[in-house]
């Protein structure tokens, strides 16, 4: 027997036309053979198209397909205007996974999206007008990056120690008593290492007195040129660190390619990367009296 008519029941807010369109997209339409419909397979394909339906069954009697649906029961939400929001794409990408906790799903797995595009909507049309929600969820996508960083090839390097001077001071509370002459400002070619030692009595009582020993080391600084391999490695480290910070702890770097070219006194290091990351970010909606959105 073939299906020549449909009878839909159980839907109060989801339009009958929307249910029939979803069935048609899944291959069940007027003229379809009604015998041998796989209910589980049909539900798995239809329900993602009907976010407000949690159950659907199609029973064919004669030439009529009786479609029974159970609508989603949502708890009543009282949102302030500041709580209504969309979830939009933080950057361009190819959708790989959708975890929608609330809101209208506006994209599907496999869709290509642009930065700022709405992924989960906070406004839905209903027979009673617009329904406002606080869209919430996680949308993962494949993303691509191409960054370049200039790494200087001319560097100033320090040689070994030429001289070392140790100066001692005593800190009593917040006051410092210097046991040396001169100021504390050091030349550029000097390094200073300070070691603090607190004073204690034999039975363990801590005194408010600290001995500060400053060791100052002088180096010879000369201008040199960094090897291009070292500059390339440093540029790659900088770019990868920036990439990991951008995609977050739950992001994954799938593939990278690093290239470099010399430009004057700099080595231009370029990183091309393919990643998978969560790209959904909250975007508050402004509700107006004229449009409702």
CATH 3.40.190.10 fits 5-71, yes or no: no
- Across the beta sheet with 64-71, the strand order is 5-9, 64-71, 53-61
Give me the numbers of helices (H) and strands (E) for the chain, helices first please: 3, 18
Q: Give the pLDDT confidence score for residue 280 in this predicted structure.
A: 96
Q: Give the pLDDT confidence score for residue 278 in this predicted structure.
A: 97
Q: Which long-range contacts (CB under 8 A, 24 or more apart) does 189-196 make?
A: 189/158, 189/218, 189/219, 189/220, 189/221, 190/216, 190/217, 190/218, 190/219, 191/216, 191/217, 191/219, 192/216, 192/217, 193/217, 196/171
Provide the pairing of β-strand 64-71 with 5-9.
parallel
Per-residue tens of pLDDT for the chain, all 293 residues: 788 889 999 998 899 999 999 999 999 998 888 888 888 899 999 999 999 899 999 998 888 899 999 998 765 555 565 578 999 999 999 999 999 988 899 999 999 999 999 999 988 877 666 788 889 999 999 999 999 999 999 877 766 666 677 888 888 877 888 877 766 666 666 777 888 888 777 776 677 788 888 888 777 666 778 889 999 999 999 999 999 999 999 999 999 999 999 999 999 999 999 999 999 999 998 766 544 44
Q: Give the pLDDT confidence score for residue 55 in this predicted structure.
A: 93
Q: Give the pLDDT confidence score for residue 109 in this predicted structure.
A: 95
Closest CA to 267 of 241, 245, 244, 236: 236
Q: Give the pLDDT confidence score for residue 267 in this predicted structure.
A: 95
Q: Given CA atoms 175, 179, 181, 182 in this order, what sign does their dihedral have?
A: negative
In the chain, where the domains are located: 5-71, 81-139+280-284, 147-153+226-277, 156-224
């Amino acid at each position: 027997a073939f299906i020549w008519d449909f009878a839909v029941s159980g839907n109060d807010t989801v339009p009958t036309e929307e249910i029939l369109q979803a069935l048609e997209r899944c291959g069940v339409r007027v003229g379809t053979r009604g015998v041998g419909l796989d209910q589980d397979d049909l539900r798995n394909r239809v329900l993602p198209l009907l976010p407000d339906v949690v159950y659907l069954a199609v029973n064919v009697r004669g030439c009529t397909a009786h479609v029974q649906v159970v609508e989603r029961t949502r708890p009543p939400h009282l949102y302030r205007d500041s709580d209504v929001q969309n979830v939009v794409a933080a950057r361009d990408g190819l959708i790989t996974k959708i975890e929608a906790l609330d809101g209208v799903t506006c994209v599907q797995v496999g869709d290509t999206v642009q930065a700022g595009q709405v992924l989960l909507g906070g406004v839905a049309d209903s027979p009673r007008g617009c329904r406002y929600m606080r869209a919430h969820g996680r949308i993962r996508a494949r993303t691509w990056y191409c960054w370049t960083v200039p790494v200087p090839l001319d560097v100033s390097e320090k040689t070994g120690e030429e001289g070392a001077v140790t100066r001692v001071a005593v800190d009593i509370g917040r006051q410092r008593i210097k046991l040396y002459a001169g100021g504390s400002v050091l030349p550029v070619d000097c390094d200073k290492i300070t070691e603090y030692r607190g004073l204690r009595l034999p039975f363990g009582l801590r005194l408010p007195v600290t001995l500060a020993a400053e060791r100052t080391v002088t180096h010879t600084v000369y201008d040199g040129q960094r090897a291009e391999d070292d500059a390339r490695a440093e540029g790659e480290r900088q770019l990868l660190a920036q990439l990991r910070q951008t995609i977050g702890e739950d992001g994954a770097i799938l593939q990278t390619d690093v290239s470099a070219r010399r430009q004057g006194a700099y080595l231009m290091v370029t990183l091309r990367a393919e990643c998978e990351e969560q790209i959904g970010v909250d975007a508050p909606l402004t509700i107006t009296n004229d449009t409702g959105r």
